[in-house]
Copies of this chain bind each other. A is one copy, B any other.
């Protein structure tokens, strides 16, 4: 795809270092760490960053693309699991684990001008819809929610947990459990507002 020439050895190594450093830094300190910081963390000059990724946005796009792809794969495997409800829960756990500080808003904005990322996003959302559909028809989740609803709520557990200072790193599991209980059919109350149509 993007390999008209086999990268030189040190170049390939630096690229990996950069991706790792950037992923780390983004996860810990948010999306607006400076490129200089990332370069320093990778033990590399700032110019090297821009040789590999023309712009900072390209760098975050590369990382997000990796994670989206990984999640899509996970979702694909879970599509054939026996327990559809457990599969959906497992998938949402994977999202929380993988997405750290990236939430949908960032993804949407990044995908807006990157067709590759946009396609990856679409593939992921298609899997979410399928997982939800299976869980719905198996009776594991209520029938009045849609895939788009789950997409919207996907990042909520992680976000809720990290909005508290000094939160233990696994607290998101608690909020995923609460939200997932809200998705179950048992004791469900009718929902106001129609489901969103977009994704």
Contact = CB atoms under 8 A, between A and B. Distances in A.
A84 interface: no
A152 B161 contact: yes
Given A103-B163, A159-B159, A178 B193 contact: no
A169 to B, nearest CB: 10
Nearest to A193: B174
The listed residue with most B CB atoms (<10 A of its CB), out of A162, A164, A186, is A164
A182 interface: yes
Contact of A167 (B166, B168, B189, B198): B198
A192 interface: yes
A168 to B, nearest CB: 7
Interface stretch (A2-10, A59-67, A71-79, A143-151): A143-151
Contact residues on A (Cβ < 8 Å of other chain), bracket: 35 or more
B182 A196 contact: no
A92 to B, nearest CB: 13
Contacts of A155: 160, 163
Interface of A: 103-105, 108, 145, 148-149, 151-153, 155-156, 159-168, 170-171, 173-175, 177-189, 191-193, 195-196, 198-199
7 contacts: A149-B175, A156-B156, A156-B175, A170-B193, A177-B192, A180-B189, A181-B187
